[in-house]
Amino acid sequence: MKISDFLTPADVVIDMRTSQKQQVLQELAGKAATSLGLQADYVASELLKREALGSTGMGNGVAIPHARLPMVKRPHGVLARLKPPINFDAIDGQPVDLIFLLLLPAPPDADQLTALALVARTLKVPGMLDRLRQAKSVSDLYAAMTG
């Protein structure tokens, strides 16, 4: 599995301006919902339920909000770079500027776990965060993430 299997250039947002975690999740949920033909409010609600269990802010300015949805047949991602960074209750207390939202099938299957692990691993590759932060366009950001 590759990130390009569940992330398209149409699902990449650059320099998104928002000031609150809930607002960014709702906007990104709307984008994902449109791509998948789902209700945006439902997707946002499921993402917020997951966040209530514990922040998906993994440190170093990165968050991977995710939710399992019964009507999702395969993983689907949305990548956003925020400007400026926002408080996301991240594990290291630092603001977040890179968000990879992931919608996954329910019940969990091997692909789902692979997709989440793949995103997390990719974001930890040395130099990756710098490349994502320095991307000048949506296509540059997509290319950096999908390698």
The set of catalytic residues is 66
| CA 81/CA 128 separation, integer angstroms | 13
| CA 124/CA 107 separation, integer angstroms | 27
| CA 24/CA 125 separation, integer angstroms | 25
Nearest-5° Cα angle at 91, 14 to 107: 75
